[in-house]
Amino acid sequence: MKVSLMKLIGSLSCAALLMTSCLGDGDSSFQSDRSFAYITTDANYIKVASTNVGYIRTQDATGMTNLTDGQCYYISFKITSTQSSSGTYPAEYINVLDDGPISQKSLYVTELGEPGEAYPGIEEEQSDTIQVNSLELREYYPAKEVFGDRWLFRYSVPNRKDDDQVKAYFYFDRDNQVNEKGEAIGFSENKIVIDVRFTKIDGSGSGTTKTKDYESVGNLSSLRNYTPKYNDAGEAYVAVKFRYVTPATTTTPPTAKFYPTGDSAWVGDSNSSFFLYYNTSN
């Protein structure tokens, strides 16, 4: 595998090794107050929480009942023993934070409509023209095995009230795959542009107007239905950029921006890129 993927694998391995070192003796334990987790099933079809330190699971199956398969959560947990033979860490407890799963939307593969048209998946009475100041990727893994191609984003939105909600939607527009210069790109080049749109759900209207941060998960697993250009080793690294719109200023109109920035982020094995890793078994 290329350097970038190896670095990510290495970071997960180091975290797992750190956990193992904390658990080596008798009553030792490892505790996390806040971790991102994707809920899935292991090779034995047992529900587990997949985290940056590996699979974890309460020894009592009822402790997993409040976690929904396929969803992502922030959790706190405590591990009190080493890995089981299946590779899962038994947990003394797993607590769900923030009142439930993180808002998640699956990727739409579509042609985006004319300006002013509602985007697929967004109800007509909702605004789909919300613009954000910034977009930041918080958690992801390029191979599908860790987080199931769930990508966690944080975005900053101006002029929001205290209990307003702003949700993100993700689109792969096959007819608008162009880079920052307007040049056509495509799977033959192992490059993808994902459009991110935002909708507002009004709250009670109370409180002051301010800039607020929100988080959403994009389920990009459907991109694996598309075939990238493999190298001789049967591997492919598909660079992904996200296109979103920032608000107008006193001197500029609303502006489409790409994230991450720079030409090096178009190179799938670059340290500055986000990418999907494929191999012939995917």
Domain residues of the chain, as ranges?
30-96, 104-279
Q: Work out the mean pLDDT of the chain and round it to a whole number.
A: 84
Does domain 104-279 fall under CATH 2.60.40? My reply is yes
Average pLDDT over residues 253-271: 89
Q: What is the pTM of this model?
A: 0.86
Averaged over 4-22, what is the pLDDT? 49
Position with higher pLDDT, 59 vs 7: 59
- What average pLDDT score do residues 12-29 get? 52
Q: How confident is the model at residue 174 (pLDDT cuts 50, 70, 90)?
A: confident
Q: What percent of the chain has pLDDT over 70?
A: 82
- Residue keyed to tokens 């405590």: 78
Separation of alpha carbons 42 and 48, rounded Å: 7
Task: Write down the pLDDT at residue 268.
Answer: 76
- Buried b vs exposed e over 91-130: b needs ≥16 C-beta within 10 Å? beebeeeeeebbebbebbeeebeeeeebbeebeeeeebeb
Model confidence at 18: pLDDT above 80: no
Q: So what's the pLDDT on residue 14?
A: 46
Residue 188's pLDDT band (boundaries 50, 70, 90)? Answer: confident
**What's phi and psi for 21, nearest 5 deg?**
-65, -30
Show the tokens assigned to 125. 């009475």
Whether the bond between 158 and the residue before it is cis, its omega within 30 degrees of 0, is no
CATH 2.40.50 fits 30-96, yes or no: yes
